[in-house]
Amino acid sequence: CYPQKEAAQIALDAIRKTIKGGHYKGNIILCCFLKEDAAIYKELLAFPTWSL
């Protein structure tokens, strides 16, 4: 099994690269099956999040 924290960091890095230029206008939704995964993402998120 791939390490959860490392996988989350890879996913967040890919998201940051996508939105970095400011041209991405959509929403990004992270859906986690496990509460442990959701906690890891909350810990690693270092950029603003919001809900509409």
40 domain-assigned: yes
50 domain-assigned: no
17 domain-assigned: yes
Tens digit of pLDDT at every position of the chain (52 positions): 899 999 999 999 998 888 887 878 889 899 999 999 999 999 998 666 666 5
Q: Express the helix, strand and coil content of the chain in percent, nearest 5 each.
A: 50, 0, 50
Residue type (1 letter), 9: Q
25 domain-assigned: yes
What's the rounded Cα separation, in Å, for the pair 46 and 27?
Answer: 17
39 domain-assigned: yes
The candidate with the shortest Cα–Cα distance to 48, out of 27, 33, 31, 34, is 27
What is the end-to-end Cα distance of the chain in Å, rounded?
Answer: 34
* Full residue range of the structural domain in which residue 16 is found: 4-44
The model carries a pTM of 0.76
